Amino acid sequence: MSEAFGTAVQLLAGLDPKLIEIVLLSLRVSITAVVLAALLGFPAGAAIAVGRFPGRRTLIVLLNAFMGLPPVVVGLVIYLLLSRAGPLGSFGILFTPSAMVIAQTVLILPIIAALSRQAIEDAWGEYQEQLRSLGASRLASALTLLWDTRFSLLTTVLAGFGRAAAEVGAVIIVGGNIDGVTRVMTTTIALETSKGDLPLALGLGIILIAIVVAVNAAAYLTKELVQRRYG
Partner 1 sequence: MTNGTILPLRLHEVCFGVGSRAIIERISLEIEPGPSTIILGANGAGKSVLMRLMHGLLSPASGRVEWSGSERPGAPRKQAMVFQRPVMLRRSARANVEYALKIAGVPGAKRAPLVREALEGVGLSHLASRPARVLSGGEQQRLALARAWALHPEVLFLDEPTASLDPSATREVEAVIRAFDAAGTKIVMATHNLGQARRLGDEIVFLDRGRLVERTPVEQFFSQPQTAQAAAFIKGELPWTG
Partner 2 sequence: MDRMRRLLLLALLAAALPAAAQEKFIVVASTTSTEQSGLFGYLLPIFQKKTGIQVRVVALGTGQALDLARRGDADVVFVHAKSAEEKFLEEGHGVKRFPVMYNDFVLIGPKSDPAKVAGGHDILAALKKIKSAQAPFVSRGDRSGTHIAELALWKAAGIDIEKDKGPWYKDTGQGMGPALNTAAAMNAYILSDRGTWISFKNRGDLVISVEGDKRLFNQYGVMLVNPAKHPSVKKDLGQTFVDWVVSPEGQNAIAGYKIGGEQLFFPNAGTPGA
Instruction: Summarize as ranges the residues that interact with partner 2 (CB under 8 A).
Output: 28-29, 32, 35-36, 39, 43, 83-86, 89-90, 92-98, 101, 176-179, 181, 191, 193-198
Which residue's CB is nearer to partner 1, number 10 or number 130?
Answer: 130
Considering CB distances under 5 to 8 angstroms, the limit depending on partner class, which of partner 2, partner 1, none binds residue 213?
none
Q: Whole-angstrom Cα distance, residue 76 to residue 78?
A: 6
132 lines the binding site for partner 1 (CB under 8 A): yes
Instruction: Identify the residue among 134, 178, 213, 214 touching partner 1 (CB under 8 A).
Output: 134
Among 135, 180, 194, 196, the residue binding partner 1 under the rule CB under 8 A is: 135
Of 5-24, binders to partner 1 (CB under 8 A) are none
Characterise 180 by phi-psi region: left (phi > 0), alpha (psi -120 to 50), beta (else).
Answer: left
> Nearest distance from residue 90's CB to partner 2, in Å?
8
Residue 156 contacts partner 1 per CB under 8 A: no
Q: Which is nearer to partner 1, 10 or 137 (CB)?
A: 137
Nearest to 145 by CA among 50, 78, 8: 50
Single out the residue of 59, 225, 48, 66 nearest to residue 151, CA to CA: 225
Any contact of residue 222 with partner 1 (CB under 8 A)?
A: no
Report the distance separating Cα 116 and Cα 134, nearest Å: 24
CB of 100: closest distance to partner 2 in angstroms?
9
Q: How far is the CB of 136 from partner 1 (least distance, A)?
A: 5
Q: Examine residue 144 and tell whether it contacts partner 1 (CB under 8 A).
A: yes
CA distances from 65 to 70, 126, 220 (A): 11, 26, 28
Whole-number Å distance between alpha carbons of 36 and 107: 11
Q: Which does 3 bind (CB under 5 to 8 A by kind): partner 2, partner 1, none?
A: none
DSSP state of 51: -
Q: What is the C-alpha separation between 123 and 151, in angstroms, rounded? A: 12
Could you give the CA distance from residue 85 to residue 45 in angstroms, rounded to a whole number?
34
| Closest to partner 2 by CB, 35 or 209 | 35
Instruction: Give the single-character DSSP code of 184.
Output: -
The answer to whether residues 82 and 91 touch, using CB atoms and an 8 Å cutoff, is yes
Closer residue to partner 1, CB minimum distance, 128 or 193? 128
Binding site for partner 1 (CB under 8 A): 126-127, 129-130, 132-136, 140, 144, 147-148, 150, 229-231
